[in-house]
Amino acid sequence: MKGALVLLAIDVGNTQTVIGAYDGERLAHSWRVATVKGQTGDEIRTTLSMLFLADGFDVSAVDGAVLSSVVPRLTGAWERALERMLGVQVLVCSAATAGDLFPANYGNPAEVGADRVADFIGARMRYGAPCVVVDFGTATNIELVDREGRFAGGIIAPGVETSANALFSLASKLTGTELVAPELPLGQSTDQAVRSGIVMGEADRVDGLVRRIFEQVGYTAPVVATGGLAGVIAPLSSCITEVNPDLTLEGLRALYEHKMA
């Protein structure tokens, strides 16, 4: 692989950070690490060096980087770390940098988070218009690419793990559980009941919200799921038509190629 990889795409979320190395359009390597909100640029470089060394990844092969971050205090640290490590200027994703890749029928496009911008770009590029993206992260984000290919708005709700952590922290008799669905919705133990409410409840919430979107706009569309828990929730959903765990990274790659062409 030496000399072939040209682009690093990084999605810094509130809970996890996903790093992808692209060889053209092919995602050749990917890593998922916990987001540490107090990290410095030097600490980020150390983390990256360890990941790359473990997989035998040659950082000298990279000649570009694109960054999405919803953690403002980490955005600059990641920029500095990548620029120092790679010797390249980092493209930071936003509605402004996306430009004509992010046509929006929205009150204030500048307030749309970088992850939502990247999801929109990736979905429109891969699936066309219209389509809906459901991103299962710290928040569950639902976005609509309308018939005209515009960002038409979305829904932001607490994510699966966020809801679970809130429940466990506030209900003293409930303890943590694995976030997988039970076989049946009616739990025969506290653990089954909690998993039914959290996991099955998330699938039904997404289905209900997507139906409301379709009722509002007057048409239906493919629904693509992404994010860390997409593979857990999607099989329980009646509206999700496809799972693409790399959609955010794909949007970042498309943004970089468009801006650097």
Distance, C-alpha 76 to centroid of its chain: 20
Strand 151-158 and strand 139-145: the pairing is: antiparallel
Q: Which residues contact 214 (CB under 8 A, 6 or more apart)?
A: 220, 221
Angle between helices 41-55 and 72-86 (to 10 degrees): 60
pLDDT digits (tens, 9 = 90+) for 48-69: 999 999 999 988 889 899 999 9
* Residue 12 pLDDT greater than 50, yes or no: yes
Picking from 16, 259, 241, the residue whose alpha carbon sits closest to that of residue 123 is 241
pLDDT digits (tens, 9 = 90+) for 24-57: 899 999 999 999 999 999 999 999 999 999 999 9
Active site residue 58: no
Per-residue pLDDT, 168: 74
Out of 148-157, 176-185, 186-195, 244-253, least confident range? 176-185
* Residue 5 pLDDT greater than 70, yes or no: no
pLDDT digits (tens, 9 = 90+) for 107-131: 999 999 999 999 999 999 999 999 9
The predicted model scores a pTM of: 0.92
Query: What span, in angstroms and rounded, lies between the C-alpha atoms of 186 and 138?
Result: 27
Place of tokens 């960054």: 67
Query: What span, in angstroms and rounded, lies between the C-alpha atoms of 210 and 169?
Result: 29
Q: Which of 55, 58, 115, 146 is catalytic?
A: 115
* Residue 11 pLDDT greater than 60, yes or no: yes
Percentage of residues in the chain having pLDDT higher than 90: 76
Strand-pairing partners, residue 26, are 23
Per-residue pLDDT, 181: 79
